[in-house]
Structure 1
Amino acid sequence: MREAARTSAGTALTDLMLDLFRLNSRILTAGDRLVAGLGLTSARWQVLGTIAASDRPQPVAWLARDMGANRQNVQRIVNDLERGGLIAFATNPHHRRAQLVVLTDKGKLTFDAAMRLQAPWINRLADGLQIEEIATTHRVMTALRRKLEADGEGDEQA
């Protein structure tokens, strides 16, 4: 079977994506280590952060959408967080079955503690990098995400 030819940009983007996969793995491992003492994992921390960043309580499906994640995976993590007392469910006046997810006081304290650990860690990672290069990388990643979203790629599987 013969492989389709890539453009130069396609080859460069493939190389970038392979490095992004490796980077993502390293970020998750480092995040797990960073917040392990708080009883968190990177995944739980990410969900807590999404809840904390929301303007108002949201159901799991909306949190998953905001994260670009699979609803079932987010539901599993939310259930773990609820068992740990970090989040609670509230009645959704607009949908009987889709409860709203809210941070508990313990969840707020735990998330704040994680963010206090994150600041020196991220500052060390950023040391020596140029802000302009970080901004360019961010623009490229945002453009790629938007193209994938527009094409319906990576949409949640039912």
Structure 2
Amino acid sequence: MSIDRDKLLEGLDDERALFGLFFAFGNRLQAAGDTFYEEITCKQFFLLICLSVFQGTPPMINELADVMGSSHQNVKQLVNKLEKAGFVTTFYDKEDRRKVRVAATEKIGILSDRYREQEEKFMTGLYDGVTKEEVKLTYKVMTKIEKNLMRIGRRDK
């Protein structure tokens, strides 16, 4: 028996429905992502994507945590698992030995090559029926909501 979620949510205001959708979306995305790669989890893949956006000096774990919207401790655990699997390496900063930096290894390129076609199919399927304008608008709205969340998180500390 399948539940008609739209019918369940009738009468709920859009803000609350969207709030719940964020959680459901995250769960579905992680579940789909965890079946995608044999070698790594969806969260580990997300860390690798975040790592790839840093140009020049490899980031510190806390910088990765900030980009990922996660705690230092959770990112450290992901980094440790990825390092054991050979996808990243960690090293102490040359100027400040208290800082631990994270760098990608060549193994990431092999992973990317192996799954490139599958990734393209996934992205095409994910955005099926969604226009470029809708993607742009969604991105714009989501970044505003994320900034609000970051502000709320700082205020609550």
Structure-2-length-normalised TM-score: 0.82
Change (3 A) 1:64 1:114: farther
Count the aligned residue pairs.
145
Q: How does 1:53-68 map to 2 (within 5 A)?
A: 53-55=53-55, 56-68=57-69
Partner of 1:83: 84
Distance 2:59 2:135 in 1: 31
Distance 1:111 1:76 in 2: 22
| 8 Å contact from structure 1 (residues 44, 81) kept in 2 | yes
Q: Which has the larger displacement, 119-128 or 71-80?
A: 119-128
Name which structure has the greater RCO, CA cutoff 8 Å, separation 6+: 1
SS in 2 for 1:58: coil
Distance 1:114 1:93 in 2: 35
Change (3 A) 1:90 1:50: same
Change (3 A) 1:151 1:95: same
Name segments (4+ residues, structure 1) moved above 4 Å.
none
Structure-1-length-normalised TM-score: 0.82
Partner of 2:5: none
For residues 19-68 of structure 1, give each alpha carbon's deviation from its aligned partner in whole angstroms, at most 9, with x where no partner exists.
11111110111111111x2x110011011111122113011111101111
Distance 2:73 2:95 in 1: 21
- Identical-residue share of aligned pairs (%): 27
- 1:11 is the counterpart of 2:30: no
